[in-house]
Chains A and B, each alone.
Chain A
Amino acid sequence: MPVIAVSNPKGGAGKSTTTLLLATYLAQQGATVSVLDADPNQPIMDWKKNGQSKTTLQVIGGVRESNLMEILEDQPHQFVFIDLEGTASLLVSRSIAMADFVIVPVQASAVDVRQAGKAIRAVRDEEKVAQRSNPNRRIPFRVLMTRTPAPGAPVSSVQRQLEGEIEAAGIPRFQTSLAERMAFKAVFVERLTLDEMHHLPVGNLDAAYQNVHQLAEELIGFLEETEKGRAA
């Protein structure tokens, strides 16, 4: 059961969008998936509770510092995502400590990247602490660029600089990025999965679906590597 924490202390980096898209995609592929909504605004809980989606995705709200461990223990699913709040809190750091993989979404903005640095340093320190009791414990992470221009559209110089800086710093990242797409926004507006919006006038749904598919494939690849590393 990989636990996947989605974290960036900066709000609006795309944590909930990333979580919901990946979780609903994997659920649609037949996986058993749950999302622990640890954002005080409960965006994914709202999506599930007030929407009409038929997804098999389970959403658990009301996650707090004190009950995180218990809730994690109770998850009988193949994949557990934790959608974290946009702040540096114990709930965030504990979720990172319990995670098998951390996704750090960042927009192409200096503020986002600096805040992402906080999450990355926390991951590395939490890993060191975990290794005191288990030397093989790893908390792998990848930065995910979000709200990038759609393929073919011009890339801003800020984004190019940031990508260069991330690479120069040796920070691992997803090759796939989540593009800025109306379809991703519509998921929250309509409270449906991408797959369930085929009847709605949402722009370029196929491209959006393909984008999530690529991201999910990359994530599964990383999780496979992690599982193999653990078994070795």
Chain B
Amino acid sequence: MNKFGLLDDDNASQSSTLLDKIAQFPPVRPRSTVDLAAFDAAAAPHGFVSREAPPSTQPAPVARRRRAIPSEPTRHLAIRLTESSYARFVAYADRQKLTYHDALASLMDSAGA
């Protein structure tokens, strides 16, 4: 009879056989090192891919300086420009940490306009 009487005597004898079998399993076996990259590559075609977010290596983006309150009335200017010019302009503003309107003013100052 087991502790809580869940098994009848026949089952209890089955259980003791199982107990003997369990005892044969040793606790620890050192595991050989494996080539994880090869395993990952084999699993990838079956859809087994990483679901964990990689640790971020990018530095936190530096916030652009907040727009100062202008001392004179403002006007709105919407301009369409090529992607490359757009990228150059935004990169310039980011690099100089300028707002877009300050970046434009700075470029005009440089050009003596």
Contacts and interface: CB of A to CB of B under 8 A. Distances in A.
Interface string A17-42: 00000000010011110000000000
Please indicate which of the listed interface residues A1, A93, A210 has the most CB atoms of chain B within 10 Å of its own CB. Answer: A93
Nearest to A134: B32
Contacts of B40: 90, 93-94
A59 interface: no
A90 B51 contact: yes
Interface string A197-232: 010000001100110010011001101100100000
A91 interface: yes
Interface in B25-44: 25-29, 31-32, 34-36, 38-43
A76 B28 contact: yes
Nearest to A100: B29
A129 B42 contact: yes
Nearest to B46: A122
Interface in A4-28: 9, 26
A209 B3 CA distance: 13
Given A94-B39, A213-B7, A1 B25 contact: yes
Contacts of A9: 47
Interface residues of A, number: 57
Interface in A28-78: 29-32, 64-66, 69, 72-73, 75-78
B27 A77 contact: yes
Provide the main secondary structure of the chain A interface.
Answer: helix
Contact of A133 (B11, B29, B35, B43): B35
B50 to A, nearest CB: 5
Nearest to A117: B46
Given A89-B50, A194-B6, A220-B21, A76 B27 contact: yes
B51 A125 contact: no
Contacts, number: 132
B32 A87 contact: no
Nearest to B50: A90
A1 to B, nearest CB: 5
Contacts of A217: 14, 18
Contacts of A98: 31, 34
A72 B19 contact: no
Contacts of A32: 27
Interface in A162-221: 194-195, 198, 205-206, 209-210, 213, 216-217, 220-221
